[in-house]
Structure 1
Amino acid sequence: MRDTPPPPRTMKALLLHGREDLRLTERPVPAPGPGEVLLAVGSVGVCGSDRHFFSEGRASSDVMTEPFVMGHEFGGRIAAVGAGVDPARIGERVSVEPLVPCGACRSCARGAYNVCPTQRFHGVPGAEGALQEYVAVPARNAFPVPDAISDAAAAMVEPISVSLWASERGEITIGDSVLVTGGGPIGLFALQVARARGAGRVVLVEPQPSRRETAAGFGAETAASLDEVTGEFDVLMECTGVQAVRHDGCGHVRPGGRAVFVGVGAQDAGVPMPSVIEREVDIRGVMRYRFTWPVVIEGLAAGRFRADELVSRTLPLEEAHRAWTEPLTGADVKTIIRVGS
């Protein structure tokens, strides 16, 4: 156990009260329950789903019904532990997996906890997120990170995990050709994961020149649109959720290949059915991740994944509202909210 001061009685928290209504509030610091740790939050990544909650009051099937704290990409330092947790963990730097499954359903029993129908997810309605100074999380969801990994990178274990699980769904292996559509954080991590898994040709499609330049630095060919892409691919990693991109991207998958839909986009979307059926293209969805945290942390520590280069802006919690009211330009990639020192 490191020499860590006890947590204070109150803290600052950024609550979303409704559409476009963020308020910085003073509230009590929670006490960790049995099997939980109290995290002094370090850095929090802002995700596209956070933007949807702010502007629409919902993200995919998660609907806001009362004020809540966003922030599901996060890490920090353990400040206190609940009953049943080793006190030696106090002071430990961790990255947190926000998905909390029930552990008892059929999906959980077969290891597919990411599709647990009653799962909770820190940062969406029903489970407190990390845009506050302290948050209590299950101890088993807090994974130690070495000092070689920055606080920002510890927060980005979450989006890298999305990309890693997408690559698992796509069964990317040595020599595969991979088409990635979208040069946001998920797409840029998807290409890094594909390269780490031994993919041969990796092409990233993104209209923003600076994002294409970043992708090229990660070892990908780049194109501004699908119209510029030639050839067929073993795997499509569709990270935009844009209907036209999803539709046209499927046409670039080889017979017997895999189209992996990562970006959510509209509630209903079409695909080119003749192309999919006649060429037996497998379409696979991606629901978050499972068993990814140790792999991603090891990859960051070994330099296989580069996260810090994607950070375009860092804001203190007191100015976090700017992440929504002053959005990044299309050329920028990632906003990090710095909560703790």
Structure 2
Amino acid sequence: MKATFFDGKKITLDKNYPNPDLNETLVRVNLAGICGTDLEILDGYMQYNGILGHEFVGTVEKSDNPEMIGKRVVGEINAGCEKCDSCIKGLQRHCSNRTVLGILKRNGAFAELLSLPEKNLHVIPDSISDEQAVFVEPLAAAFEINEQVSLKPKWNVAVVGDGRLAQLIIQVIKLTCSNITCFGKHENKLEGLVQSGIKIKLGIESTDEQLFDLVVEATGSNSGFTDTMKLVKPRGIVVLKSTIASRENLDLTPTIINEITLIGSRCGLFKPAIDALATGKISVNSMIDSTFSLENFEDAINHAKKPDTLKVFLKP
């Protein structure tokens, strides 16, 4: 099969990469998305080598369950050992022996084929397009905030960042909270938020400091954490979404002084995300940028790195 392989330093196209040989469900990739985590891995995050990509939609080609063959699916990216305490409790995402699609000890979606356990796969209804389906994984990560924090409608909420994940988070929080401000750096990304009633700011002013009950950091940068700590109220809540390859130290002193609750937030359940897309509660169409063939993966990655780019797809 054709696949892009990352050796830890360089990513190349291999036209004769071995097909997945795991005893799992085999999926032919229809479309894959490039996300911030992929770009961080290329910069050294997770010290990963293999096939990148964890946002995808595909068609089942081989399965022990005949009813799955031919189904269009997306997949949860964490595969647990099914034996440890975390797995027994249903927390495969925190299994110490887990593999993670395109991130940890498991080849990902920037290829013609991938494999996952059947329990990780979710059938996508016809009302959701391939492009929309690719957003299920990051949208599930946005919905994870609802699982971790009991949102209050009257809260003053800030989201720091204006990229793909930040915009999904804003849509999810807006289902509960109406008073939301997005702090970003790219005016063209922020314009669409104004039409949906979101306040936007291109920088932090003194009047913004310690104003927000909840602040979600989704910038992918160390500076985003510093900005976040300026915005949150004493005894407020900060949700951290960024995975950052940088080794710079973060100053946690304000967290202690102001008694801030810090919550790390990663993957989420797929069902709320699929339901939200199918019912139209969440719209992702404005975030679709462009599609590149697998052979043009370098152009796709370079385009995805541009600060004003939203979702870029690879099509095997």
Tell me if TM exceeds 0.5. Answer: yes
Indicate which of 146, 163, 183 corresponds to 1:205: 183
Q: Is this contact kept in 2: 1:226–1:249, CA < 8 A?
A: no
Once the two structures are TM-superposed, the CA of residue 229 in structure 1 deviates from its matched residue by: 6.2
Tell me which stretches of 4 or more aligned residues in structure 1 moved more than 4 Å: none
Indicate which of 265, 289, 301 corresponds to 1:324: 301
Matching residue's letter, 1:223: K
Residue of structure 2 in register with 1:4 after alignment:
none
Number of aligned pairs?
A: 314
Q: Is this contact kept in 2: 1:170–1:259, CA < 8 A?
A: no
Matching residue's letter, 1:280: E
RMSD: 2.1
Instruction: Identify if the C-alpha distance between structure 1 residues 28 and 244 changes in structure 2 by more than 3 Å, giving closer, same or farther.
Output: closer
Residue of structure 2 in register with 1:172 after alignment:
151
Instruction: Identify if the C-alpha distance between structure 1 residues 156 and 32 changes in structure 2 by more than 3 Å, giving closer, same or farther.
Output: same
Indicate which of 113, 122, 131 corresponds to 2:92: 113
Q: Distance in 1 between matches of 2:189 and 2:204?
A: 16
Indicate which of 104, 108, 113 corresponds to 1:129: 108
Instruction: Identify if the C-alpha distance between structure 1 residues 250 and 170 changes in structure 2 by more than 3 Å, giving closer, same or farther.
Output: farther
Provide, for residues 224-283 of structure 1, a one-character-per-residue CA deviation record: whole Å limited to 9, x for no partner.
01227636112110011432331232232223320111112234543452x433432201
Provide, for residues 101-149 of structure 1, a one-character-per-residue CA deviation record: whole Å limited to 9, x for no partner.
2222233333333222221101124101011111121111110111111
Residue of structure 1 in register with 2:47 after alignment:
63
TM-score, reference length from structure 2: 0.91
Q: Distance in 2 between matches of 1:63 and 1:246?
A: 23
Residue of structure 1 in register with 2:54 after alignment:
72
Q: Is this contact kept in 1: 2:161–2:184, CA < 8 A?
A: yes
* 1:295 aligned onto 2:272: yes
Instruction: Identify if the C-alpha distance between structure 1 residues 109 and 29 changes in structure 2 by more than 3 Å, giving closer, same or farther.
Output: closer
Q: Distance in 2 between matches of 1:285 and 1:194?
A: 17
Once the two structures are TM-superposed, the CA of residue 52 in structure 1 deviates from its matched residue by: 2.6
Residue of structure 1 in register with 2:131 after alignment:
152
Once the two structures are TM-superposed, the CA of residue 207 in structure 1 deviates from its matched residue by: 1.1
Matching residue's letter, 2:240: F
Q: Is this contact kept in 2: 1:169–1:260, CA < 8 A?
A: no
Once the two structures are TM-superposed, the CA of residue 15 in structure 1 deviates from its matched residue by: 1.4
Once the two structures are TM-superposed, the CA of residue 93 in structure 1 deviates from its matched residue by: 0.9
Q: Is this contact kept in 2: 1:24–1:318, CA < 8 A?
A: no
Q: Is this contact kept in 2: 1:170–1:235, CA < 8 A?
A: no
TM-score, reference length from structure 1: 0.85
Q: Distance in 2 between matches of 1:254 and 1:15?
A: 45
Q: Is this contact kept in 1: 2:2–2:13, CA < 8 A?
A: no
* 1:24 aligned onto 2:21: no
Indicate which of 250, 255, 276 corresponds to 1:276: 255
* Counterpart secondary structure, 2:16: strand
* Counterpart secondary structure, 2:272: helix
Q: 5+ residue gaps in structure 1? A: 1-10
* Counterpart secondary structure, 2:171: helix
Residue of structure 1 in register with 2:36 after alignment:
48
Instruction: Identify if the C-alpha distance between structure 1 residues 141 and 219 changes in structure 2 by more than 3 Å, giving closer, same or farther.
Output: farther
Q: Distance in 2 between matches of 1:190 and 1:294?
A: 16
Q: Is this contact kept in 2: 1:183–1:215, CA < 8 A?
A: no
* Counterpart secondary structure, 1:280: coil
Q: Is this contact kept in 2: 1:250–1:271, CA < 8 A?
A: no
Provide, for residues 213-233 of structure 1, a one-character-per-residue CA deviation record: whole Å limited to 9, x for no partner.
122234311000122763611
Q: Is this contact kept in 2: 1:253–1:259, CA < 8 A?
A: yes
